[in-house]
């Protein structure tokens, strides 16, 4: 896919040079990073992208990671998931999240630059994940004003009979090329108010500090819930507990970071485990990321301009 808010086709076209394979961390190296971070309190690992299922033999990595006392999750567009749900679960995957912004073929194609016929493939993958018992399946949808507001009701109607968590995400200015505009942001409060006109929503308490989604049960819909991720209208920088490691081994402490810390040179050195632990501990103690708060505190939201890493490089 070439979603226009993540990997726009005019930037990441057929001439785009992706990293050479030897620049990427091997599965063993990724596993060594996770192993060194377990004593620091890591409880959950999420495989994301780009598209994680493009990585050959991903089940092998999941199998390695499953030996650690962590939950293993994955975010995918669902196009390569079909027929692999069982093998991913058997390898140790605990839960899966699908990205789906529209059920309208024309709008879907406009957003993703991928045929609208692929929507059915994604819906089939979601059904397969549910049947495989991959936790409570999540569906993430970025809602943008003037683009796909009509999909709020479409998505509810499509999934309300299933035991899934449908999460609406505010349009964020991730990366440098997604042409983000503040007036395209649909605040979570606006969607919530819209939904409460036709359904009874019951708030769900957070299970831990740093949980990014505000979740609601829907009265009369067993197993179905709705969540909101409100990074623009209600920044949660102060409670953030997430770190990101890119495919080539750089550590980022914020989705909006402008630079990361090279772990690969340590991993491929001699004293890799203690070196990584010490480095990450020091970085975590001194980090002061709060881009979303800064954006919200500017006189005109959306006028803050800082270079940021691309979303496709470190995931959503």
Please check the confidence at residue 248 and state whether its pLDDT lies above 80. yes
Q: What whole-number distance in Å separates Cα of residue 251 and Cα of residue 236?
A: 20
Query: Is the domain defined by 21-314 classed in CATH 3.40.250.10?
Result: no
Greatest C-alpha distance within the chain: 61
Query: Tokens representing 235?
Result: 């920044």
The answer to which of 45-54, 79-88, 192-201, 297-306 has the lowest mean pLDDT is: 297-306
Q: Given a cut of 90, is residue 285 above it in pLDDT?
A: no
Give, rounded to a whole angstrom, the gap between the first and last alpha carbons of the chain: 15
User: What's the DSSP call for residue 163?
Assistant: S
Give 298 or 225, the one with higher predicted confidence.
225
Please give the pLDDT value at position 257. 79
Q: How many CA atoms lie within 13 A of 46 on its CB side?
A: 15
| 269 pLDDT above the threshold of 90 | no
Predicted pLDDT of residue 186 = 94
Q: CA-CA distance, 262 to 272, in Å (whole number)?
A: 12
The more confidently predicted of residues 171 and 312 is 171
- Going from the C-alpha of 160 to that of each of 2, 82, 224, 316, the distances in angstroms are 28, 22, 6, 24
Question: Using CA of residue 300, residue 305, residue 308, residue 311, what is the dihedral sign?
Answer: positive
What are the sequence ranges of the domains in the chain? Answer: 21-314
> Does this model's pTM top 0.85?
yes
- The fraction of the chain above a pLDDT of 70, given in percent, is 91
Residues 131-139: what's their mean pLDDT?
94
Residue 99's H or E segment, with its range, is strand 95-99
Most confident of 32-46, 177-191, 232-246: 32-46
Question: What average pLDDT is seen over the chain?
Answer: 88
Residues 272, 32 contacting (CB under 8 angstroms) = yes
């Amino acid at each position: 896919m070439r979603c226009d808010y993540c990997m726009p086709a005019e930037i990441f076209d057929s001439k785009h040079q992706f990293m050479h394979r030897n620049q990427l961390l091997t599965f063993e190296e990724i596993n060594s990073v996770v192993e060194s971070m377990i004593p620091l309190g890591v409880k959950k690992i999420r495989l994301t992208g780009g598209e994680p299922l493009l990585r050959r033999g991903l089940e092998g990595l999941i199998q390695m990671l499953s030996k650690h006392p962590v939950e293993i999750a994955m975010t995918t567009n669902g196009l390569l998931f079909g027929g692999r749900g069982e093998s991913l679960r058997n390898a140790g995957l605990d839960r899966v999240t699908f990205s789906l912004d529209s059920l309208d073929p024309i709008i879907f194609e406009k957003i993703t630059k991928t045929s609208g016929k692929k929507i059915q493939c994604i819906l089939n993958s979601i059904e397969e994940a549910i049947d495989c018992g991959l936790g409570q399946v999540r569906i993430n949808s970025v809602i943008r004003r003037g683009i796909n507001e009509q999909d709020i009701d479409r998505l509810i109607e499509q999934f309300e009979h299933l035991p899934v968590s449908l999460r609406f995400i505010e349009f964020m200015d991730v990366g440098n090329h997604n042409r983000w505009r503040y007036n395209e942001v649909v605040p979570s409060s606006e969607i919530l108010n819209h939904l409460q006109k036709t359904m009874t929503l019951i708030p769900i308490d957070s299970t831990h500090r740093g949980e990014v989604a505000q979740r609601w049960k829907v009265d009369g819909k067993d197993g179905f819930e709705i969540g909101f991720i409100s990074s623009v209208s209600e920044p949660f920088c102060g409670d953030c507990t997430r770190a990101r490691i890119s495919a080539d081994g750089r550590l980022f402490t914020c989705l909006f970071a402008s630079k990361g810390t090279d772990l690969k040179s340590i991993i491929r050195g001699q004293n890799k485990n203690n070196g990584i632990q010490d480095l990450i501990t020091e970085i975590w103690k001194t980090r002061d990321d709060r881009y979303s708060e800064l954006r919200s505190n500017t006189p005109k939201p959306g006028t803050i301009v800082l270079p940021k890493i691309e979303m496709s490089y470190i995931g959503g």
